[in-house]
Amino acid sequence: MKKIEIIPYPKKLDLQLDIKSLVQEMALANLQFLSGDKTNRGAIHDAVNGIYLRGHSKQSIFGNPSLEPSNKYNEPYLECLPTIKKFLSDFPAKIIGRTALLLLDEHAQIPIHVDADPHGYFKKTLRFHVPIYTNEKVYFYNSDFFYHMAAGEVWCINNIARHGVINDGDAKRLHLVFDVFIDEEIINYIEKVQPSIAIPAKERPELMEKIGWKNRELPPYLRQKKHNNLNR
């Protein structure tokens, strides 16, 4: 079953993360975010600072295939955040993949792009977003629509479709972002979720102007593939 068939558009799940408890844990954990250019997530994400919680390669994913089901390594920070650890443990999926806290500055954007890697990780997983703190001027773009995600809500998105984020507010946006490996349990769960409220992108041209489509800088393996195709 193709990913676009499982999640053709973002869906808000009937789940909630205990934000109040998590914020208290975060205050005690003394979290140290990596700047966007040091998280190995590609130049398109340079405006996003991050903390790895689970399953992240120490190198760029484009050169390291370690993000597979067998990799169940938890980063030390996850042990300091029992609310997230329990939430992931109780989540309706057998195998959790990479997990991070991602912080987007105020008046910043992640331009529209698609996620890709040479090992097929993104085709085998579903991406989930949980806002921890946000504001009314944060919009998530996915496949020609904008969505607003409120704090504590749990959303599933298709990250191999065009997507991006704009934070037009005066406050930072922090999300828990994690992947789960696709299995029958999570497919059945997602299929039961009803469509969520969306704003057609054509109704917000001023937002599209700020985050319009930009191709992700191609990693070496894709540059070589493109070169080979051109020389056939």
Sketch the domain layout of the chain as residue ranges: 3-230
Rounded CA-CA distance 153/16 in Å is 5
- Residue 57 confidence (pLDDT) above 70: no
SS3 content of the chain, % helix, strand, coil (to 5): 30, 30, 40
What is the rounded average pLDDT of the residues 182-190? 95
What is the rounded average pLDDT of the residues 88-94? 93
Helix ranges restricted to H, 81-183? 82-90, 121-124
- Give the confidence band of 218 by pLDDT, cuts at 50, 70, 90: very low
Pick the closest to residue 89 from 14, 215, 178, 201 (CA basis).
178
- Residue 226 confidence (pLDDT) above 60: no
CATH of domain 3-230: 2.60.120.330
- pLDDT tens, position by position, 119-169: 788 999 999 999 999 999 999 999 899 999 999 999 999 999 999 999 999
Q: In 73-211, where do the E strands start and end?
A: 96-104, 108-113, 125-133, 138-142, 145-147, 153-157, 163-167, 173-181, 199-200
Element (H, E) at 14: strand 11-16
- Residue 225 confidence (pLDDT) above 50: no
- pLDDT tens, position by position, 10-23: 999 999 999 999 99
- What's the chain's average pLDDT? 83
Burial of 150 (0-12, 13-18, 19+ CB in 10 A): exposed
